[in-house]
Amino acid sequence: AVKRPFLDRRERGREGLMRILNEVMVMHRKEDINLPKPIFKQANLDVPVPDKVQSMIIEVAELRECVDIPYIAAMLETMGIDIEQNSGQDGLETWLEKIKKSSEAHDVADLMISGYLNTNAYQLLVDKVQGEYIVNSVLSEIDTRTDSRIDRRPIKAVVYSSSSTNLNLVAEQIYGNDKIAPENIAEMVGENSQQTVEDMSVELSRFRNGCRQGRNCPICNGWNDLNERVNTCQNILLEVRDSSGEHFLVERERVVRADGEPLSIYRNWVVEEVLEVCIRDPHPLLPARWTDEVWKGYGSQKCLQMASKDGYKGKDWYFGPLPNCKSSDKRIVTLQKWQRCGAFHSRNRWYRGPQLVDAPIKRVKEDAFILCLHSGLSHGLDLSFVTHIFLLEPIDDAALLEQVTSRAHRLGATGPVVVETVNAWVQLDDATTKIVSDQKKSSGNAVCEHCFRTFDNMSKARLHEKKCPRNPCCKTAGDPFHLSSVYREIRPPPPIIAEIEI
């Protein structure tokens, strides 16, 4: 009664299908709830090439018929092109052959520029320019939003990339910018990182709520982010032995030198490594330790027995008082082992004192307004509170661009999201520009707000929108006897108005 007339393109069949679908389906569109439309922008940033590189390009282009293998090797080193990949005779001869075959200066210059744009040195310049632009844009929006009476939403910006390498490199530049603090940045960088699912959940919560929740360990006072799956302290403690054979635990912050070199607390430790540690207690930055009497009440005698029985090679030791040393606050020790505070002080083995779960939950304000987000971790995220999305690479796929935008342009959003593609273009001096081809490629400057297709200019995008099949105002677009056309006409049911008894 419905199928055959519809396939025969008869109006009776279409009306029957519409009647049935309206009874069993509810279609809600963003247009139906008046969701603010996203704003698409393009940032075109110039990345200046160092003068010495440009001078080398001009020199090679002019002397292309006179160059030799030693000259090619020196050229590659000056331009930062990977010497190891081109140091073999075949590699250098290939470069020489390409240069010699180029009859025009601009062909040689194009070859040199192409090689330079693939170097780590140029990529570092790109990352620096992109990172600086993002930070300045976000801070400018924060200042503007403070004075705004229309949009009072706090600025929340996502830096988005499908390349974990690019994302990490730009994140380093953002961290290195002295205009913002590390606590202003959250990370969900995915592959090539040591982040666990719990770590990323904490970062997203910090970015959304502007605060970090956790506990201070009652034993070592180390901070632990709130995690329902972990109920013991995750702070790393080092067990060391001094020249007298005495064992004790120290925090990483107490290590001054390792093998005679100044130390960053983030490193790979080595057993039997010689360390210089500060044993000052109380320490100006670390809390005072419990006394021996307190530790005896928590089971330290049993811990000593178990450690001695295992030859100090087991997992047991305790965060007791540091050895007395009146002559100096520093001591040379040998690293024995390291593990988490909760593993040293196990209730299942000997410890009877307070643990992490006994400490109160604290909320520390951290105004995180930038989230570095890898594309592989964005699926299913509700980012309706986000105000800006910075794309580190252009997205030409309309479906993918819509998917990325929909993370923020969704139910719950109270304002428009600005989606800005951060393009980086090589910038050359006038002298170099004369002998190279145009390096600036056309980038899409306008996006259809219905189907998310990208166009070269705004006029083309607006012309397309009038005929876009996904434009609800377009009456002529699409085949009326196609199922997608039928689905578009299904509207949400009218609101139920409650009857008021008088």
pLDDT score recorded for residue 351: 94
Q: Quick one: three-class SS letters along 452-467?
A: CCEECCHHHHHHHHHH
The DSSP bridge pattern shows strands 418-427 and 39-48 to be parallel
pLDDT score recorded for residue 326: 63
Task: State the CB neighbour count (10 A cutoff) for residue 240.
Answer: 25
Q: If you ran DSSP here, which 8-state letter would residue 416 be given?
A: P
Walking along the chain (502 residues) 10 residues at a time, the average pLDDT comes out as: 85 87 73 78 89 81 71 73 53 68 73 79 92 95 75 89 90 92 88 71 88 92 86 93 91 81 63 89 86 94 92 90 77 92 92 93 91 87 91 87 86 86 87 70 65 74 74 65 75 57 48
Check: CB of residue 271 under 8 Å from CB of residue 333: no
pLDDT score recorded for residue 89: 46
- The candidate with the shortest Cα–Cα distance to 229, out of 191, 208, 199, is 199
C-alpha span between 410 and 30 (Å, rounded): 7
Task: State the CB neighbour count (10 A cutoff) for residue 255.
Answer: 22
Q: If you ran DSSP here, which 8-state letter would residue 478 be given?
A: S
Across 53-182, where does the E strand assignment appear?
157-161
> Distance of alpha carbon 399 from its chain centroid, rounded?
22
Tokens of 57: 């390009």
Check: CB of residue 115 under 8 Å from CB of residue 94: no
Task: State the CB neighbour count (10 A cutoff) for residue 341.
Answer: 23
C-alpha span between 155 and 288 (Å, rounded): 40
Q: What are phi and psi of 20, to 5 degrees?
A: -70, -45
